[in-house]
């Protein structure tokens, strides 16, 4: 079991085991790392009771005190960075240094929102003589949060940060494949002195847990990160109960490369970012629309970088890309590549599973991919890049906007006029120019169109977790 943590649910401040368990598998060698406890309805009822008590207490806790506890937890997580990174690599597959970076990022989410909780300002609206209107921002209630497997620590951290900073209690269902990141966060909060019941952690069958928790009156926000299909389903369920949603859903990020940049450098930058986390990132740069005049040089540079990547067990020194996270992704990659090639795409790098133990897939580059290929509509969520030429910026923007997704988009250019055009016309919640960094704790992150509702991070990050109450106060009765 090589030091992987013993897994428990965390309910009402206590750790518990369950009769039912699921295996957690190491994607690098398919060995079983541990037994994941599966929550029963009784466990979920206990979590709801605990979260109700937790909310009563935490929503009345002074912001400064909330901030202190969140910052203490973030400090503990940073101190344990290497241990947590190792567990993330074991369960998810990403290289150890990416796990370390993830722990830092998750801690930064907590630190940013801890600061924001001191700035949950209301306002006073002047009224007629003797009347004052006061606008308050109050915590929304218990949050049912669902975190995915691609960032086992930073994704749960982001949701917990927003909820706890706002004064909400949380029932977090973390990903079954990658439970250790969330487990470490719960441990850190317990040690930091978070009152019992404010944060509850469950695992289980995702559809059973969401269909049980979302209809409960007490649950006032469903915060989900995952695919558009599941997000749509959960939004439908929440709407039956007039429950708010915060949805961070799929993307299929376009990258517009204009004709005024260095194609070799831009190709290297593109390939370095594409294969981070084995491409399993909702903001992963995927559809590269490259100015025709640069296409050949850009493609050669991108392909050379992709072919040079060291792929292997993320715990091995020097590894730059690990396996994909599960067998489903491995199968999905092969289906998408085979389909694209059968429709006429050029396979310029990779395209096959590596070996037959562990879920390793080659860093893959497809060029001149026709619109009829599935991958042009379906987010690959894996190590596959699409490189297509475009005749102009207008053409690039048209291609970028043609999908129903709008999470991240990228542009490379030195021209202010091109930047201005992309700022106006690219349909995305996040547009980055000359960088493939899409989100920071201090910037608002989220999608438009099918990529979701609401924002995490930035000044907007606590909006979804709070409700606005207007109080009109007449000094004299009448």
Residues designated as active site: 248, 282
Shortest Å distance, C-beta 204 to ligand NAD: 10
Of the two residues 141 and 152, which places its CB atom closer to ligand NAD in the complex?
152
Helix (H, G, I), strand (E, B) or coil at 144: strand
Shortest Å distance, C-beta 146 to ligand NAD: 5
Shortest Å distance, C-beta 219 to ligand NAD: 13
Beta strands in 39-191 (DSSP E): 123-126, 131-139, 142-146, 169-173
Ordered alpha helix ranges (H), 404-472: 416-425
Residue pair 73/58 in contact (Cβ under 8 Å)? The answer is no
Of the two residues 156 and 312, which places its CB atom closer to ligand NAD in the complex?
156
Shortest Å distance, C-beta 262 to ligand NAD: 31
Shortest Å distance, C-beta 215 to ligand NAD: 13
- Please state at what angle helix 41-58 crosses helix 206-213, rounded to 10 degrees: 50
Alpha-carbon distance 430 to 460, whole Å? 14
Burial class (CB in 10 A: 0-12, 13-18, 19+), 356: exposed
Alpha-carbon distance 191 to 214, whole Å? 29
Of the two residues 69 and 163, which places its CB atom closer to ligand NAD in the complex?
163
Shortest Å distance, C-beta 110 to ligand NAD: 19
Alpha-carbon distance 377 to 173, whole Å? 29
338: left (phi over 0), alpha (psi -120 to 50) or beta: alpha
Of the two residues 22 and 136, which places its CB atom closer to ligand NAD in the complex?
22
Of the two residues 7 and 303, which places its CB atom closer to ligand NAD in the complex?
7
Shortest Å distance, C-beta 476 to ligand NAD: 52
Handedness of CA 192, 194, 199, 202 (dihedral sign): positive
List the strands of the sheet with 364-367, edge to edge.
346-349, 364-367, 384-390, 285-291, 253-257, 408-412, 430-433
Going from the C-alpha of 173 to that of each of 197, 339, 429, the distances in angstroms are 14, 34, 26
Of the two residues 57 and 237, which places its CB atom closer to ligand NAD in the complex?
237
Alpha-carbon distance 365 to 304, whole Å? 10
Shortest Å distance, C-beta 286 to ligand NAD: 11
What does the binding site for ligand NAD look like in residue numbers (CB under 6 A)? 146, 148-150, 175, 206-207, 210, 225-227, 229-230, 233-234, 248-250, 282, 328, 379, 381
Residue showing tokens 């376009």:
254
Of the two residues 89 and 225, which places its CB atom closer to ligand NAD in the complex?
225
Of the two residues 132 and 449, which places its CB atom closer to ligand NAD in the complex?
449
Residue pair 169/219 in contact (Cβ under 8 Å)? The answer is no
Going from the C-alpha of 187 to that of each of 80, 131, 181, 266, the distances in angstroms are 11, 48, 10, 42
> SS3 sequence, 367-414?
ECCCCCCHHHCCCCCCCEEEEEEECCHHHHHHHHHCCCEECEEEEECC
**Which residues does 433 contact at the CB level (< 8 Å), separation at least 6?**
410, 411, 412, 413, 419, 422
């Amino acid at each position: 079991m090589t030091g992987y943590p013993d897994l428990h649910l965390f309910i009402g401040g206590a750790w518990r085991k369950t009769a039912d368990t699921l295996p957690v598998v190491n994607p690098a060698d398919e060995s079983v790392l541990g037994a994941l406890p599966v929550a029963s309805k009784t466990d979920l009822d206990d979590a709801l009771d605990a979260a109700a008590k937790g909310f009563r207490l935490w929503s009345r806790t002074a912001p400064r005190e909330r901030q202190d506890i969140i910052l203490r937890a973030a400090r503990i997580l940073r101190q344990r960075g290497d241990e947590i990174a190792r567990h993330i690599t074991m369960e998810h597959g990403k290289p150890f240094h990416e796990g370390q970076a993830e722990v830092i990022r998750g801690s930064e989410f907590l630190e940013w929102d801890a600061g924001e909780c001191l700035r949950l300002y209301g306002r006073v609206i002047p009224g007629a003589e003797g009347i004052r209107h006061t606008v308050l921002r109050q915590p929304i209630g218990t949050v049912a949060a669902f975190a995915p497997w691609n960032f086992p620590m930073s994704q749960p951290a982001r949701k917990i940060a927003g909820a706890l900073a706002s004064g909400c209690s949380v029932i977090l269902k973390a990903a079954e494949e990658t439970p250790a990141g969330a487990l470490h966060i719960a441990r850190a909060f317990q040690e930091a002195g978070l009152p019992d019941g404010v944060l509850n952690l469950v695992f289980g069958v995702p559809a059973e847990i969401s269909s049980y928790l979302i209809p409960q009156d007490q649950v006032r926000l469903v915060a989900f990160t995952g695919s558009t299909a599941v997000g749509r389903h959960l939004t439908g369920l929440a709407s039956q109960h007039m429950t708010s949603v915060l949805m961070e859903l799929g993307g299929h990020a376009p990258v517009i490369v204009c004709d005024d940049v260095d194609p070799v450098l831009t190709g290297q930058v593109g390939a370095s970012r594409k294969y981070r986390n084995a491409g399993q990132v909702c903001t992963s740069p995927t559809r590269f629309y490259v100015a025709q005049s640069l296409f050949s040089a850009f493609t050669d540079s991108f392909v050379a970088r992709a072919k040079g990547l060291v792929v292997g067990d993320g715990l091995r020194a020097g590894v730059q890309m690990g396996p994909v996270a599960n067998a489903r992704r491995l199968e999905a990659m092969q289906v998408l590549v085979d389909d694209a090639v059968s429709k006429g795409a050029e396979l310029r790098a990779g395209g096959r599973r590596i070996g037959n133990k562990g879920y390793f897939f080659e860093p893959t580059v497809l060029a001149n991919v026709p619109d009829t290929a599935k991958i042009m509509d379906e987010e690959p969520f894996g190590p596959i890049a699409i490189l297509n030429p475009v005749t102009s910026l207008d053409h690039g923007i048209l291609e970028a906007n043609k999908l129903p997704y709008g999470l991240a988009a990228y542009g490379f250019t030195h021209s202010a006029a091109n930047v201005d055009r992309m700022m106006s016309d690219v349909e995305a919640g996040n547009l980055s120019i000359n960088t493939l960094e899409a989100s920071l704790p201090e910037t608002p992150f989220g999608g438009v169109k099918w990529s979701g509702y609401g924002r995490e991070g930035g000044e907007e990050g606590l909006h979804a977790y709070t409700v606005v109450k207007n109080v009109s106060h007449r000094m004299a009765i009448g």
